[in-house]
Structure 1
Amino acid sequence: MPDAVYRIDHRWRFTYVNAAAGKLLGCRAEDLLGRYFYDCFPEAVGTAIEEQYRAVLADGGAREFEVFYPPHDRWYEIRAFADADGLTAFFRDVDEQHRSEQRTAAELRQLNAVLDALPSPTVLVGGDGRILSVNRSWVRAGEAYGREGHHLARVGEDYLAAMGRELSAADHAAITEGLRRLSEEPASPPRTFAHDYSHPFGEDVAWFRLQAARLEDTDQVVITYTDITERVRDQGALAWQASHDDLTGLPNRARLLQLIGEVLREPRPRAALLFLDLDGFKTVNDSLGHEVGDELLRQVGDRMVEQVRPGDVVGRLGGDQFLILARDCDPSEAATLAFRLQASFTRPFYAAGAPVPLSASVGIAPAQPGSTQAHQLLSDADAAAYAAKGSGRDRIHLFTPGLREAARWRLEVANRLRDGSLDQFVVHYQPVVRLDTGELYGVEALLRWNHPERGLLSPDAFLSVAEETGQLIPITRWLLGETTRQAAEWAAQGLPLLMSVNISARHFSAETLVRDVRMALHDSGLAPESLLLELTETSVAEDPTRAEDQLAVLRSFGVRVAIDDFGTGWSSLAQLLALPIGTLKIDRSLLTAAASLTTEASGAVLASIVALTRTLGIRSVAEGVETAEHLQLVREAGCDLAQGYLVARPMPAVEVPRWASRVRAAGGDSCALALQARAAR
């Protein structure tokens, strides 16, 4: 037998020793026969050998144990069996195996210490898939999960089988595959695997990141669980914030474009995009404050959500602009939705305990076959809303291809103005004459753009874009400099004229008007009394307090002020009285309306307006005098001044002195000269 075998009787004397035993014990087998066991091996006294042998001899039961024998400095495995004469012992040298196991156990204890130091629950899985060890965090997590009715795997269990009871089928399959790859791939360099999954925990959902790493030169795998619930929630909150408007909670521009793109990529998209722009919201915001304005925007968003159909998406584009993505919707249905949204605005909104009326202009852009660009549909809806707003408040406009061309033109204008096109601007001047004598009194400066490709453009083609892009103030600043220089030049030539220049409300809000006017007068040398600033009713009404303050400063050093287009805005007499104005320009639309009435009624209308201006100490100017009837009407009403195509059309600066010379040569009465020319035709 390869194993060492010997027998001893009840007196503990050797009765049999095989060759393997003699070799292992370091002596000849026959030298041990008949000898007393303790004489040969006195070191066995009091050891496990003596204890186990006595037990076998006493009860006849078999014993198997390992023992360290100091004289040999080795470990042995002994199996002892009782027989009729005593006992038989089989033993073998297991020193290398035992020491290897001890080293492994020490390494495992060290690894367990490392695992226990980890804050995250961690398990050590052997090559057979069973759990070799768990750390303290795993035990504590198991106790907490146990109270919720869950079960965490324990030492000795099959890891994947235990986890299969707690995970979804998809997560269990992903983890199984990941661990399989770890076991099959080489362990060096170290391989890792990670997987995130969710798990119900009470009434909440917890998120975990499983990270597995194979130990180098072993088939063991360390698996760590990190609770990433807060991180996932934070990421979810950040993702929500990135796709939603902070103020209203509605989807923002980025999210809306994403949703529009998804709809447009459908095989046959039936959808429409509604672009809703609140009318006059800036005035509400400025007058009531931004806090109230924000509350109104939230109310607008809520009301729109109430009005749309299931499946439609309401979002905020920014400022006072909203979008509605109407799914499964043709143009007529989109128009019906737009009218319903507008109708909902007839109910007032409430802010600070008071009702605030609001209206909206709506542009509608149906999805076009073959078009998959979300930005293009948004641009079309924007163009339709721009057209709706341009036609007045509370309007609805359906997109047409022509609007796209108009939008391109606005973009071209914005780019050209931004790149600097001041050298392409020219000024034409329309004479303003006295109605009592027909003498030339002054001129109104009318801006023109000498476009390189489109020729001479009127302000209607570009000023609104300039105002939107912030270029209007630089243009007006240039206009002030050019017109004051021209007026000073004419005055030096013996032609002193009152120069009228139109000013935008933007100059009030920028609060640079006083400085820009002073700079223009200083550089040109023109007397302040020769400059008349014209402002529309609407521009003054947007911010009357700021307008009053700046105009008072200008009037204090001689500059004159006029209200232009009177009769088209919504200013009040109180505002007119509060402003330091000296001239009121009656709009041509009011003159046209008066001319269409009976003679008595028309005279009464204009006479009342002129009487009002005289009561206020204000000079009146009639605009748009185009016929002899207009001229007679304004003269009979008592207007002081007039301008219009009947008297003279706008003309380049070089023609103004020539026209004035012709009038003087004809007697100085431009009105009479105009009537003669009309009669001659």
Structure 2
Amino acid sequence: MTGRIDPSAEQADRVLDAVPAAVGLWDRQMRNVVANAALRHLLGVDDAHGRTIADLVGTDVFDRERPHLEAALAGERQDYTRTVVDPDGRTRHVHITLTPDVVDGAVTGVVGHVIDVPSEAALDSQRDEALGLLVKTLEFSPVATAVMTTTDRWIDVNRAMCALLGYTTAEMLEMSFASVAHPDDLEVSLAEREALLSGTTSHVESEARLIRRDGSSVWVHRHATIVRAATAAGEDIVIAQVHDITERRSLERALTRQALTDPLTGLGNRRRFMGLVSELAEQDERQVGLIYLDLDDFKRVNDTHGHSVGDELLVAVADRIGSVIGVHDTVCRIGGDEFVVLVRSARTADDLDGQRIRLKTVLSEPYTLTSTATPVRVSVSAGSSWSGDDPAALLRVADEQMYRDKSARPR
């Protein structure tokens, strides 16, 4: 069985002397009972035991500290700061804590605790240094950054932001975010700002366009965060960072076009057409027709004249279709010699059928191609379908009618 080990006075002294803060115990007559090494150094003595505070620091200093000492003897903890000159001649800014020493419910003395604290001037210097570093970091950051009020007025913008938009710093500080937002994206920007101000979110992230000084637009990925004021009298601010993603967006558009475009004719491909059909279903569009076109003699053209002539013929067919259909109609090449036209310009099924017949007539006329001296002719089969409750059925119905049209050809 082990009992509690009580430290010796020598051990207690060693522990206290190892503490970097100045620590001392004073009785009710303000005589020193304990003083560690740090306190003895601060007082400039080798031994403080039994000496009064007035004797150690002088009457003037004691009279200045008396109210705090008396309050501590009355049972009230004291916390305050002082500027003192230590025996080495250094000016030190210290925080003093006086804690009542209570034994059996009675205050028998005061425990003093003194630690060094930065001066106000030092704090100001540290703050100014930190702010200066922040300003330099913002100014030279490669990321376009702006600090704004909650009303979108610029407070500060860095070089990268000015370079991105083509304005000087002075010019931008006279502007607002709304003045450089693309009109088509302004509504979204205002909604994002409202979400920040209302506290719905602490940050927003989106892609949008900004208008540069020369009138061109630039796509950016933007991230904005609201920083609440430290006091009620302060003003909330918004910190926004934007990254130029114009090149990425262009690449994405190019890849999308490539995925949805027939490389030979430049028309939409089958994937593009099926996407349009899906959009019809989502939009519940009913006033629409479809014309399915097939070149009956295309294999003969390839076999007789070669594939280069066949390719040129397909391009010529695509051009003729485009010259006939309306500006709101869409033509896609969905197979080797198969084309479909999504017709929004027709008003009735009869109107659609008239367009189908006109396309057959125009496409069946001879083609003069640069890759062969012989005029090329092909016959065309065409079917159509009008509206209906199922947009996906448009292709099936038009396909069926096209094959009936093909079967009706003289053999």
TM-score (norm 1): 0.38
* Paired residues for 1:590-609 under 5 Å: none
Aligned to 1:72: 91
Task: Write the distance in 2 (CA, Å) between the matches of 1:222 and 1:203.
Answer: 25
Aligned to 2:172: 152
After superposition, the C-alpha distances for 1:630-681 in whole angstroms (9 at most, x for unaligned) are: xxxxxxxxxxxxxxxxxxxxxxxxxxxxxxxxxxxxxxxxxxxxxxxxxxxx
After superposition, the C-alpha distances for 1:44-91 in whole angstroms (9 at most, x for unaligned) are: xxxxxxxxxxxxxxxxxxxxxxxxx9853459xxxxxxxxxxxxxxxx
Residues 155, 173 of structure 2: 8 Å contact kept: no
Task: Write the distance in 2 (CA, Å) between the matches of 1:362 and 1:273.
Answer: 10
Task: Write the distance in 1 (CA, Å) between the matches of 2:144 and 2:134.
Answer: 14
* Paired residues for 1:359-374 under 5 Å: 359-368=379-388, 371-374=389-392
Task: Write the distance in 1 (CA, Å) between the matches of 2:282 and 2:226.
Answer: 45
Residues 290, 398 of structure 2: 8 Å contact kept: yes
Residues 123, 133 of structure 1: 8 Å contact kept: yes
Q: What is the letter of the counterpart of residue 338 of structure 1?
A: R
After superposition, the C-alpha distances for 1:466-510 in whole angstroms (9 at most, x for unaligned) are: xxxxxxxxxxxxxxxxxxxxxxxxxxxxxxxxxxxxxxxxxxxxx
Aligned to 1:356: 376
Aligned to 2:68: none
1:344 to 2:365 alignment: no
Task: Write the distance in 1 (CA, Å) between the matches of 2:209 and 2:315.
Answer: 35
Aligned to 1:254: 271
1:245 to 2:262 alignment: yes
Aligned counterpart for 2:205 among listed residues 182, 188, 194: 194
Residues 210, 219 of structure 2: 8 Å contact kept: yes
After superposition, the C-alpha distances for 1:276-301 in whole angstroms (9 at most, x for unaligned) are: 00012122123333332222111101
Task: Write the distance in 1 (CA, Å) between the matches of 2:192 and 2:223.
Answer: 10
Aligned counterpart for 2:307 among listed residues 273, 290, 293: 290
**Secondary structure in 2 matching 1:99:** helix
1:381 to 2:381 alignment: no
Aligned counterpart for 1:166 among listed residues 167, 172, 180: 180
Aligned to 2:112: none
* Paired residues for 1:109-148 under 5 Å: 109-116=132-139, 118-124=141-147, 134-141=157-164, 144-146=166-168
Q: What is the letter of the counterpart of residue 172 of structure 2?
A: L
**Secondary structure in 2 matching 1:350:** coil
Residues 253, 315 of structure 1: 8 Å contact kept: yes
Aligned to 1:400: none
Aligned to 2:27: none
Structure 1, unaligned runs of 5 or more: 1-22, 30-68, 76-93, 155-160, 186-190, 394-567, 569-681
User: Superposition RMSD on alpha carbons, in Å?
Assistant: 4.1
Task: Write the distance in 1 (CA, Å) between the matches of 2:61 and 2:293.
Answer: 104
Task: Write the distance in 2 (CA, Å) between the matches of 1:131 and 1:266.
Answer: 41
Instruction: After TM superposition, give the deviation of residue 126 of structure 1 in Å.
Output: 8.1
Residues 123, 135 of structure 1: 8 Å contact kept: yes
Q: What is the letter of the counterpart of residue 342 of structure 1?
A: K
Task: Write the distance in 1 (CA, Å) between the matches of 2:129 and 2:146.
Answer: 18
Task: Write the distance in 1 (CA, Å) between the matches of 2:149 and 2:216.
Answer: 33
After superposition, the C-alpha distances for 1:171-220 in whole angstroms (9 at most, x for unaligned) are: 54134224425x676xxxxx542132223333532222221246799877
* Paired residues for 1:200-239 under 5 Å: 200-201=211-212, 202=214, 204-213=216-225, 222-239=239-256
Instruction: After TM superposition, give the deviation of residue 257 of structure 1 in Å.
Output: 3.1
Task: Write the distance in 1 (CA, Å) between the matches of 2:326 and 2:205.
Answer: 43
CA gap of 1:174–1:291, structure 2 versus 1, over 3 A, is farther
* Paired residues for 1:544-559 under 5 Å: none
Residues 272, 364 of structure 1: 8 Å contact kept: yes
CA gap of 1:244–1:268, structure 2 versus 1, over 3 A, is closer
Between structure 1 and structure 2, the one with the greater Rg is: 1
Task: Write the distance in 1 (CA, Å) between the matches of 2:134 and 2:237.
Answer: 12
Residues 271, 366 of structure 1: 8 Å contact kept: yes
* Paired residues for 1:46-85 under 5 Å: 71-73=90-92
Aligned to 1:334: 352
CA gap of 1:221–1:358, structure 2 versus 1, over 3 A, is same
After superposition, the C-alpha distances for 1:438-470 in whole angstroms (9 at most, x for unaligned) are: xxxxxxxxxxxxxxxxxxxxxxxxxxxxxxxxx
**Secondary structure in 2 matching 1:325:** strand
Instruction: Name the one with the larger helix percent.
Output: 1
Residues 289, 342 of structure 2: 8 Å contact kept: yes
Task: Write the distance in 2 (CA, Å) between the matches of 1:213 and 1:356.
Answer: 65
Identity %: 28
Instruction: After TM superposition, give the deviation of residue 383 of structure 1 in Å.
Output: 1.8
Task: Write the distance in 2 (CA, Å) between the matches of 1:162 and 1:132.
Answer: 9
Q: What is the letter of the counterpart of residue 380 of structure 2?
A: A
Structure 2, unaligned runs of 5 or more: 1-57, 65-84, 95-116, 231-235
Aligned residue pairs, count = 298
After superposition, the C-alpha distances for 1:374-401 in whole angstroms (9 at most, x for unaligned) are: 2x221121122222223336xxxxxxxx
CA gap of 1:296–1:113, structure 2 versus 1, over 3 A, is same
